[in-house]
Amino acid sequence: MHAILVSLLLLGGTAYPVDDPVLTGNLLYRAGQMAEIDCPEKRVAPGNRDLTRKYLRSIADCLNTAWSNHMAAVGVPMPPAGVGFVNRPEVRCGVTWRQNIQGQYCPADRRFDVLLDQRLLATPHDLSTFLLAAHEYGHHVQHMTGILWAEVNLATSGQDEELERSRRIELQSECLAGVFLGSTWKSLRRPDSDLRDLRRMMALDDDGGINGSHGSPRNRETWFMRGFESRDAKSCNTFTAGEPRVG
């Protein structure tokens, strides 16, 4: 996550084990298995900024529909999240875009922004682009269910617990991205090798461990697959997990 949420998370702290029903017993965990979703991907091409924007907007539309329908089962409203784009790092949501950040969620605007740099535009159809959108939207789910603010408002005893709190937020969002991707997988009509490549990338790529705030590559991949295989946010309760699972 990304610069906006990192700044929010450093405002307060957490004493573990967590003792807050908003975090450990949230209605999110009671919504059951997400229904399979028809989310065919739009055409996209390397280097084509316009098609990449349309591609990501279509994923955002699917995310809004899927999560709104899913959370309606437990009476939680899910206003849609927007998606914005930047061509180079800049100030968004009052925070300077941090190095090595590809996307960030802005709670105040209910919007996630994506950096359309050369790295993303070189392979926009890579499954990691789909995951990026789903991960940032996971923060929107956390925001609308109260998880984000409940975590921010807890007190910590120091930097180690602040970083652990950030990892619990980030790894949960990775798991929620897995829930969505698992529910859309059949409609994407992608070969299984795409999922294997994504998992291999997640297990090796240390961008997610930025300054100890996002979790290890192994834990990112593990929580993502928990969501993907279960399609149930109950499997994404990082706030009751032991410290090694959120390291």
**Angle ∠(218,146,205) on CA atoms, nearest 5:** 20
Residue entry with tokens 């590559």: 217
Kindly list the distances between the CA atom of residue 182 and the CA atoms of 24, 30, 106, 118, 186, in Å, as whole numbers in the listed order: 23, 18, 25, 28, 8
Using the predicted structure, report yes or no on whether residue 44 has a pLDDT greater than 60.
yes
Using the predicted structure, report yes or no on whether residue 232 has a pLDDT greater than 90.
yes
Using the predicted structure, report yes or no on whether residue 217 has a pLDDT greater than 60.
yes
Average of per-residue pLDDT across 143-150: 96
d(C-alpha 202, C-alpha 176), whole Å:
15
pTM of structure:
0.91
Are 4 and 104 in contact by the 8 Å Cβ rule? The answer is yes
The string of pLDDT tens digits covering residues 79-110 is 999 999 999 888 888 888 888 889 999 999 99
